[in-house]
A = this chain, B = another copy of it.
């Protein structure tokens, strides 16, 4: 083939983070077949879909079996029943979102990745440490990335103070992956005011909003003026255990002007919508009964997080997250590096976490533990760490 390839793809370094983790775990496991390994590195849910969601999926499946109720191509931006259920979800948070500004997606990752196609070669601001998709999708689009560091001094919640007035695409994830840090209303207001003043656009990742319970904003639209400077990406992956079921949404306010019709055009051209049975499952997850069940699952994960947080506190290990987030981001004790600490936990306690260095330069010296495991595994891991640290 003689066609010139898109050079920008070569700018992405293949991520060996999780494969390196897997490789080290496998090697250890083969050398010590008698040892039971406990995994607190996983970013995937483990509790099953809730009864209300399961009932809705069975019902929708039956509808697909009958010519009279069968559904072919879905409306391009999602069924009205789901767009309206999502608007009601915001209403319950005290936030007004027009159902017509809601675009049903197969998850936040795809939309976060595809959204940057709407822009020319514009400046991009990404926090570090960070969810790698923000970086990679912009590298693939040929853009240079400006990083803003999350660190102990700012509680892993960087602020725009000191930034130049250049308009940018600004990524914010709150509760944050990987640090678990959550912006306050005041913190987000600074960003919204900065975006409005500079003509920037905030790409707000709210995938973990369901873990917030302390009054911090669950949506960027809780901030005045955000409708004129922010797009919000949300997902049922962690809220309702949909990592293997695939449904989320993106809010593109009409107040953003040309951006909304461009996204409509992009989706109409390159996306064919979310399966009917999945849209019905998502509607069920957002119903009163479904929300109640999902909140029980989240409470389960948060209890896991609380047990890990309690241990870290007792040991005097600084950390963020773990209260309004399934993630705990801790400082490796004794000045250890991320991978050094990884090896220590694996070799001496058979507990697997994720080295912070995998999330960006500023992640070195930190370590991520997650609360998505079973209660029993979490309890046992905490006991082992209690002895080790």
Contacts and interface: CB of A to CB of B under 8 A. Distances in A.
Interface in A249-303: 256-259, 262, 265-266, 269-278
A272 B61 contact: no
Interface stretch (A4-12, A31-39, A176-184, A311-319): A4-12
A72 B242 CA distance: 7
B6 A120 contact: yes
B72 A258 contact: no
A interface SS class: loop
A200 interface: yes
> Which of A121, A272, A278 has the most CB atoms of chain B within a 10 A radius of its CB?
A272
A232 to B, nearest CB: 15
B61 A47 contact: no
B6 A117 contact: yes
Contact of A64 (B2, B133, B245): B245
Interface stretch (A49-57, A354-362, A363-371): A49-57
Given A58-B58, A272-B109, A265 B167 contact: no
Interface string A10-30: 001010000000000000000
A15 to B, nearest CB: 8
A201 interface: yes
A104 interface: no
A264 to B, nearest CB: 9
A213 to B, nearest CB: 24
Contact of A266 (B9, B169, B199): B9
Interface of A: 1-7, 9, 12, 14, 44-49, 51, 54, 57-58, 61-62, 64-67, 70-74, 106-107, 109-110, 113-114, 117-122, 133, 136-137, 140, 167-169, 198-201, 228-229, 241, 243-246, 256-259, 262, 265-266, 269-278
